[in-house]
């Protein structure tokens, strides 16, 4: 039976920075199921300046595919009629509003300012500058003249001010307020700039006295209440609210989009975070989700009960290609290519992709370049989150950078190279690009969101087994050719296979989708498969498109320094995963 909302059918949409993706869901034979989807270019730019144009185009395509009428004179038919036309509900998410520009000010660059940066990374944002009392460059609080020039030039949309532990000194906070007050009085126009204060609560009254008349002041709990203890959630909630109020409402066509929706429009990253939380609760597991989009790359994790999210705007495989170039460098991108590509040629290709983000790779070289970009985009995000080499039970992958690979093995290789997970990990792909929309749907009809997520959206790619060698608690590379792992796979349908995996290699073992098996794992001396050094174990695994993927290349992953050897190694790895 349908849930409490009595919803029989729904349209769910994600209006992205490049593509608008829409799907039709219906209640079929006692459960909610995916019916059809479409994607069209987002139309927030010239010549339309209206997100609704791309949305209607995508809905028209679903009408054409299904023969079901969903629009009447450009308006959504709701609720569903007796003749089957229309739907009962519409929900949407978006990343098309673009990033919000912010400045972070903190007492110390590596403590309060760093915590402020991690809070800001939870929304679509451009971090224009970081101001700290202990900076070694001109961006110091004490350098008022340079600070005034900074604000004149940047004109940030908001400021996050942090500083001091609870019950600690308030001096640095007062200094920061003085600089900010002078800068804002000099450059502000009509509306007050929002300022979120997330520092020492003992300084709140002083902040209000110094800045209350100049800024739109919002006070939250300290992001760093004590040494080694971060409390980012209150600041992240305030930033998300600010983003929705200031950025999303200015999206062309947002008013009509909201009028259609039965629940508030969510930023896509917020909705993805809800899905990760749901899956962690559903399976009682540590879960990480990554998404490589056209203009941003994001990561969400719920590990050992702690939820973290991080998004890098301007870093993607569409309009965000030059962001990867600028932040990772040409050499970091080309090191993943099995062919030679000069820096100038690379720059030209990235510029063409930025200008034409909807295009798909036309040659194998183009595809391999896009996969190399996906690696570096993910590496930048995971490095900032300090989650390289994490032990994760379930890994969820999404976004065009991973979903549009020619072979699923290529997608998995990108994940292995960029994230370098350790131990045993199940990998699922958001094959229909539906997870953000389902995260939003969960607020309206949790049963529908859960059933479609598990039954239709997540494609099991397989199980990763990544043995690592430890000496004194430190990860070290194994000697190539020596055995890293032995195991026996016993198939539930009958039969078994003994496998020996040498260090330095990638291996694949068949375990088809829908089948199960038992693994008796025996790591070599000094190796760990997530059970502890030298510890053997038995685990149950489910099949997937790729079966089992055993990555014994070691952590941290090392590439040959010789160019010819490096390209040869990249080709070997691609061949090993079928790509």
Q: 100-246 sits in which CATH class?
A: alpha beta
Q: Which fold has domain 267-464+551-576?
A: Nucleotidyltransferase; domain 5 (3.30.420)
CATH 3.30.420.40 domain position(s) in the chain: 9-97
User: Given this model, what pLDDT does residue 3 score?
Assistant: 54
pLDDT tops 70 at residue 29: yes
Q: What is the end-to-end Cα distance of the chain in Å, rounded?
A: 43
User: Given this model, what pLDDT does residue 261 score?
Assistant: 96
State the average pLDDT over residues 334-347: 96
- Check if the beta carbon of residue 120 is closer than 8 Å to that of residue 102: yes
In tens, the pLDDT along 240-274 reads 999 999 999 999 999 999 999 999 999 999 999 99
- Check if the beta carbon of residue 435 is closer than 8 Å to that of residue 275: yes
Torsion sign across C-alpha atoms 106, 112, 118, 120: negative
pLDDT band, very low/low/confident/very high, at 146 (cuts 50, 70, 90): low
pLDDT band, very low/low/confident/very high, at 186 (cuts 50, 70, 90): low
- Check if the beta carbon of residue 307 is closer than 8 Å to that of residue 382: no
Q: Please tell me the distance from the alpha carbon of residue 93 to that of residue 449, in angstroms, as a whole number.
A: 14
**What is the phi-psi region of residue 207: left when phi exceeds 0, alpha when psi lies from -120 to 50, beta otherwise?**
alpha
Q: Please tell me the distance from the alpha carbon of residue 470 to that of residue 529, in angstroms, as a whole number.
A: 11
The 3-state DSSP class for residue 406 equals coil
DSSP 8-state code for residue 202: G
pLDDT band, very low/low/confident/very high, at 460 (cuts 50, 70, 90): very high
User: Given this model, what pLDDT does residue 174 score?
Assistant: 87
Element (H, E) at 520: strand 516-523
pLDDT band, very low/low/confident/very high, at 279 (cuts 50, 70, 90): very high
CATH 3.40.50.360 domain position(s) in the chain: 100-246
The 3-state DSSP class for residue 441 equals helix
Q: Please tell me the distance from the alpha carbon of residue 497 to that of residue 489, in angstroms, as a whole number.
A: 5
DSSP 8-state code for residue 162: -
Q: Please tell me the distance from the alpha carbon of residue 254 to that of residue 262, in angstroms, as a whole number.
A: 14
User: Given this model, what pLDDT does residue 320 score?
Assistant: 95
In tens, the pLDDT along 364-413 reads 999 999 999 999 999 999 999 989 888 999 999 999 889 888 899 999 99
Asked: is 9-97 a CATH 3.30.420.40 domain? The reply is yes
In tens, the pLDDT along 310-335 reads 999 999 999 999 999 999 999 999 99
The 3-state DSSP class for residue 27 equals strand
- Check if the beta carbon of residue 84 is closer than 8 Å to that of residue 68: yes
DSSP states of 46-112 = TTT--HHHHHHHHHHHHHHHH----EETTEE--S--TTS-S-SEEEEEE-TT-PEEEEEEESSTTTH
State the average pLDDT over residues 277-296: 95
User: Given this model, what pLDDT does residue 192 score?
Assistant: 87
Rounded to 10 degrees, what is the CA torsion of 340, 344, 346, 349? -130
**Residue 198 structure tokens:** 């997330």
DSSP states of 218-276 = EE---S-SBTTB---HHHHHHHHHHHHHHTGGGSTTHHHHHHH-SS--EEHHHHHHHHH
Q: Which residue has the tokens 């539930």?
A: 492
pLDDT band, very low/low/confident/very high, at 358 (cuts 50, 70, 90): confident
Instruction: For residue 163, give the nearest of 125, 203, 206 by alpha carbon.
Output: 203
pTM exceeding the 0.85 threshold for the entire prediction: yes
Higher-scoring residue by pLDDT: 228, 232 = 232
pLDDT tops 50 at residue 138: no
Distance of CA 73 to CAs 13, 69, 76, Å? Answer: 19, 11, 9
What average pLDDT does the chain have?
92
**Residue 205 structure tokens:** 């009254």
pLDDT band, very low/low/confident/very high, at 70 (cuts 50, 70, 90): very high
User: Given this model, what pLDDT does residue 187 score?
Assistant: 61
In tens, the pLDDT along 516-545 reads 999 999 999 999 999 988 899 999 999 999
Percent of the chain with pLDDT over 90: 79
User: Given this model, what pLDDT does residue 168 score?
Assistant: 87
Beta-ladder partners of 160 = 104, 196
User: Given this model, what pLDDT does residue 499 score?
Assistant: 96
State the average pLDDT over residues 277-302: 95
pLDDT band, very low/low/confident/very high, at 216 (cuts 50, 70, 90): very high
């Amino acid at each position: 039976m349908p849930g409490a909302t009595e919803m029989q059918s729904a349209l769910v949409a994600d209006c992205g920075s490049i593509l608008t993706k829409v799907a039709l869901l219906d209640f079929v034979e006692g459960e909610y199921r995916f019916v059809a989807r479409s994607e069209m270019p987002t139309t927030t730019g010239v010549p339309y300046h209206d997100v609704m144009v791309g949305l209607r185009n995508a809905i028209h395509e679903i009408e054409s595919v299904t023969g079901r009428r969903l629009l009447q004179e450009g308006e959504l038919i709701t609720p569903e009629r007796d003749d089957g036309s229309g739907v009962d509900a519409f929900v949407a998410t978006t990343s098309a509003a673009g990033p919000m520009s912010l400045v972070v000010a903190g007492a110390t660059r590596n403590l309060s300012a760093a915590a402020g940066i991690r809070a800001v990374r939870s929304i679509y944002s451009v971090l224009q500058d970081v101001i700290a009392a202990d900076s070694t460059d001109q961006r110091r609080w004490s350098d008022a003249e340079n600070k005034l020039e900074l604000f004149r030039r940047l004109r940030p949309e908001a400021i996050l001010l942090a500083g001091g532990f609870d019950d600690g000194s308030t001096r640095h906070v007062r200094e920061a307020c003085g600089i900010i007050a002078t800068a804002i009085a000099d450059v502000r126009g009509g509306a007050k700039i929002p300022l979120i204060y997330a520092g020492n609560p003992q300084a709140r009254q002083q902040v209000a006295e110094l800045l209350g008349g100049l800024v739109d002041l919002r006070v939250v709990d300290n992001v760093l209440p004590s040494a080694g203890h971060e409390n980012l959630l209150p600041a992240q909630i305030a930033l998300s609210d600010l983003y929705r109020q200031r950025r999303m409402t200015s999206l062309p066509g947002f008013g009509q989009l909201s009028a259609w929706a039965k629940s508030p429009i969510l930023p896509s990253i917020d909705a993805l975070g809800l899905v990760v939380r749901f899956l962690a609760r559903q399976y009682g597991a540590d879960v990480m989700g990554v998404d490589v989009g056209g203009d941003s790359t994001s990561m969400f994790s719920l590990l050992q009960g702690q939820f973290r999210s991080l998004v890098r705007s301007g870093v993607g495989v569409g309009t965000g290609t030059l962001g990867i170039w600028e932040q990772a460098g040409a050499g970091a991108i080309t090191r993943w290519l099995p062919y030679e590509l000069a820096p100038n040629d690379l720059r030209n290709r990235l510029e063409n992709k930025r200008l034409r983000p909807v295009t798909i790779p036309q040659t194998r070289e183009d595809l391999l370049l896009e996969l190399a970009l996906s690696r570096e985009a993910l590496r930048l995000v995971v490095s900032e989150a300090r989650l390289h080499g994490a032990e994760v039970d379930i890994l969820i992958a999404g976004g065009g950078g991973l979903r549009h690979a020619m072979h699923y093995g290529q997608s998995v290789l990108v994940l292995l190279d960029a994230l370098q997970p350790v131990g045993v990990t199940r990998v699922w792909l958001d094959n229909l690009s539906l997870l953000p929309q389902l995260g939003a749907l969960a607020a309206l009809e949790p049963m529908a969101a859960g059933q479609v997520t598990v039954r239709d959206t997540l494609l099991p790619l397989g199980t990763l087994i990544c043995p690592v060698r430890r000496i004194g608690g430190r990860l070290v590379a194994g000697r190539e050719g020596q055995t890293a792992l032995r195991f026996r796979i016993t198939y539930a349908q009958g039969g078994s296979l003994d496998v020996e995996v040498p260090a330095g290699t990638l291996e694949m073992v068949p375990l088809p989708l829908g089948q199960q098996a038992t693994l008796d794992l025996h790591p070599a001396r000094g190796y760990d498969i997530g059970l502890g050094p030298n510890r053997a174990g038995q685990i149950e695994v489910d099949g997937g498109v790729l079966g089992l993927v055993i990555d014994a290349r070691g952590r941290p992953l090392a590439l040959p320094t010789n160019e010819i050897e490096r390209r040869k190694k990249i080709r070997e790895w691609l061949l090993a995963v079928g790509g």
